[in-house]
Structure 1
Amino acid sequence: MTTAGNYLSVRPDWLACGTETAIEPEMPIIDAHHHFYDRPGWTYLLDEYLQDVRTGHNITASVYMQALTRYRPEGPEPLRPVGEIEYVAGVTAPLQTGTPQVAKGMVGYADLRRGAAVRDVFEAELQAGDGRLRGIRHLVTWDADQTLVNPLSAAPRGLLLSPDYRAGVAQLGPLGLSYDAWLFFPQLPELFDLAKAYPETPFIINHCGGVVRIASYANQRAEVFDAWSRSMHDLARLPNVYVKVGGLGMRINGFEFEKGERPPSSDELAQAWKPWMHTCFEAFGAHRCMFESNFPVDKGSYPFSNGWNAFKKLTVDASADEREALFRGTVSKVYRLE
């Protein structure tokens, strides 16, 4: 399996030569964030996800995250993303009475730039979601260095500050929906402003807050960490903001795990991730943090089992209550999975 563009290639043979046995295999886990992909040269659907899930860790349920997959091929353009929720709800319906309950919660896409008019998409996705739609994500990644931006998720500068976009966000709360945020770390102050404006809506920061350490940021790593840390601590002051701890296997993160002769071990992952993930724990507390696989995107950097082993090693000194929150409690609360 290979990928193109901004994604790292997934190399099954390379992953297989370093896949670890799961530690603490009985610990119940809810994967807070994964995708299905159906793209030229890259298929990762339910069967592929289940293959990863069944490598030893006790994944009891998951939250599905929109990924431009199986949109309706025709009909009104704004409603075409409803096809993704229809598809995911359909293929995962048989799993809802067993384990793992894949897509026990789902996050869809809608174009929030449509303002109040976007409510029709929310309502259609709620109807299509088999009672499992929990939120919306509209990607807003922007940077002055355009080499960083994936064309599939490019957004104009300052979109979070746009009145039309905010009018769309305003429709989430009345329908009981949350907002998932994928953006780059310099945009975190804009997210703070948005989340503060809608205190009744849960905001979930994806992938530790958009860590970027390549291209124009490659030689500013200390400055990147300091700016990111300040913004994350600011966001943690807002009680309606949560963070997904994970997603640090992407090209833009600059860890370069993919360049090793073998995949990184869980010890190597934990050491590299510790400053970032422990900052999230310290700023937000365990009850506002949740672990995510971000598969298949992070699969270009390490095996599924190694990633969850690293999360377990990073929390070895946490209390039982904190670990319960990080691995299943927070995600269950935020996405109302009980």
Structure 2
Amino acid sequence: MTSLDGVIPGIVDAHLQQWNPRRTPWAANRASRLYRFVPGIGDRIFPVIVSRADREYVLTPRTVARTYEPRQYAADIAGVPAVAGVPIDTVVHMESHWRAESIEDQPAEDTTSVEETRYVVGLPFGERGAPRLGALIAHADPRAPEFGRILDEHAAVTDLFRGVRIISSRHPDPRVRDGGDTEGMLASAAFLEGFGEIAARKLIFDASVYSHQLYDVVTLAREYPDTPIVLDHFGIPAGVFGPIGLRTGATAAARADIMRLWRERMTTLAGHRNVSVKLSGLAMPVLGFGHERWGNIGDQATLAEMIGPFVEHIITHFGTERVMYGSNYPIDKPNSRMDMQVGALIDCLSRWGPDALRKVFRDNALRTYSIEEVSAP
């Protein structure tokens, strides 16, 4: 396998989430409280208290109901140098659901997500083997009252604030997890109007949608061609590897159709030069890898074989300048160790040579999220 040693000093993980059920009022707090007090019972009762859609999305309560902070992340990335030749030395934190459940529930003065920003910058990044925090993407909803003021509050907390994300994924299959509160959110008049506050501040927007929603990202990119947009999880072609939900990806023909439509939409999206793609979520359970609570892929070679066609299509159409790596940890953790994930992606990208590896695993994320390069010791 190709090594990154001599190519880059370290990997930038452009998609990491952190939380602590004892401290954070985030979306999974009900399961978190249960697991905190009775972890053994929590494992058994998880299928009872959590919807099938949520179970398929995370596979195990341990993913979301246990603390995941720099110490836990440092343990997960300890094996990366053995396969990559270099460590992960920088991370971008991605908002992790500190929000009102819907825009209607969110009062004008709501700044819950600002508390997440305060929480994240107070974590011990850069200590005891944990990478440094290079940038932060916060939660904020352009449809919200006083959206601009909330953006300014995030910026006042830390100079690492680079932009926002609001998960807008919705699926026609009723048993596939919805992240957004309404269909067509990104292309709605209210969203597009509020998005002007992001553009005016020269911030970044991370978009999280399912693959059938990619034309909404096209609309957003067309309306704001000078604002950087990063597509998370390579567009989430839910069910492309196997059955999920009620009927999604249930047959080989259905999976082929998911792949075909993903290809078409990604090709169209690539024509908008302000859009980059994050090779994150490579082992997301919602892609249809399987339903076992721990490990549905097998090994590095299997993962590389499965994601290879997606990586090839993205590099072919977006080039190597608009693609970056993200772990999506800990959501991907049940299906893939970090070293296996990184190794599989190196295997897929090595055919394009060291320049592509350098850009995807480091340079593009540094540039996109305006992260200062680490000074040589």
Query: Do the two structures share a fold, i.e. TM-score over 0.5?
Result: yes
User: 1:102 aligned to 2:132?
Assistant: yes
User: 1:212 aligned to 2:243?
Assistant: no
Once the two structures are superposed, what CA deviation does each residue of 1:160-211 show, in whole Å capped at 9, x if it has no partner?
1221111221111221210000011111011101111001110000001111
Helix, strand or coil at the partner of 2:123: helix
Question: Which residue identity does 2:68 align to in structure 1?
Answer: Y
Contact 1:38 1:44 in 2 (8 A): yes
Query: Within 5 A, what are the aligned runs for 1:16-55?
Result: 24=3, 26=5, 27=8, 28-39=10-21, 40=32, 41=35, 42=65, 43-55=67-79
Question: Which residue identity does 1:31 align to in structure 2?
Answer: D
> Which moves more between the two structures, 202-211 or 62-71?
62-71
TM-score computed with the length of structure 2 as normaliser: 0.76
User: 1:146 aligned to 2:180?
Assistant: no
Q: Using the alignment, how far apart are the partners of 2:296 and 2:281 within structure 1? A: 20
Contact 2:15 2:94 in 1 (8 A): yes
Q: Using the alignment, how far apart are the partners of 1:51 and 1:60 within structure 2? A: 13
Q: Using the alignment, how far apart are the partners of 1:185 and 1:263 within structure 2? A: 21
Q: Using the alignment, how far apart are the partners of 2:212 and 2:335 within structure 1? A: 24
- After superposition, the Cα gap between the structure-2 partners of 1:132 and 1:223, relative to the gap in structure 1 and judged at 3 Å, is same
Question: Aligned-pair distance for 1:102?
Answer: 3.1
Question: Aligned-pair distance for 1:276?
Answer: 1.2
Question: Which residue identity does 1:164 align to in structure 2?
Answer: A
| Equivalent position of 1:18 in the other structure | none
| Equivalent position of 1:255 in the other structure | 289
**Long gaps (5+) in structure 2:** 22-31, 36-64, 82-86, 101-106, 373-377
Question: Which residue identity does 2:156 align to in structure 1?
Answer: Q
Helix, strand or coil at the partner of 1:299: coil
User: 1:181 aligned to 2:203?
Assistant: no
| Equivalent position of 1:118 in the other structure | 147
Contact 1:263 1:303 in 2 (8 A): no
Contact 2:222 2:272 in 1 (8 A): yes
Question: Which residue identity does 1:87 align to in structure 2?
Answer: Y
User: 1:168 aligned to 2:194?
Assistant: yes
User: 1:63 aligned to 2:92?
Assistant: yes
Q: Using the alignment, how far apart are the partners of 2:211 and 2:4 within structure 1? A: 34
Q: Using the alignment, how far apart are the partners of 2:235 and 2:267 within structure 1? A: 11
1:226 corresponds to which of 260, 264, 288: 260
Question: Which residue identity does 2:144 align to in structure 1?
Answer: R
Q: Using the alignment, how far apart are the partners of 2:223 and 2:99 within structure 1? A: 33
Query: Within 5 A, what are the aligned runs for 1:218-297?
Result: 218=249, 219=251, 220-256=254-290, 258=292, 264-297=298-331
Contact 1:173 1:201 in 2 (8 A): yes
Question: Aligned-pair distance for 1:78?
Answer: 2.2
Q: Using the alignment, how far apart are the partners of 2:360 and 2:71 within structure 1? A: 26
Contact 1:95 1:101 in 2 (8 A): yes
2:359 corresponds to which of 300, 325, 330: 325
Q: Using the alignment, how far apart are the partners of 1:55 and 1:69 within structure 2? A: 30
Contact 1:109 1:137 in 2 (8 A): yes
Question: Which residue identity does 2:122 align to in structure 1?
Answer: G
Question: Aligned-pair distance for 1:155?
Answer: 1.9
**Long gaps (5+) in structure 1:** 1-21
Aligned residues: 308
| Equivalent position of 2:28 in the other structure | none
Question: Aligned-pair distance for 1:316?
Answer: 1.8
- Identical positions, percent: 25
Question: Aligned-pair distance for 1:100?
Answer: 5.3
User: 1:88 aligned to 2:120?
Assistant: yes
Question: Aligned-pair distance for 1:154?
Answer: 3.2
1:132 corresponds to which of 160, 165, 181: 160
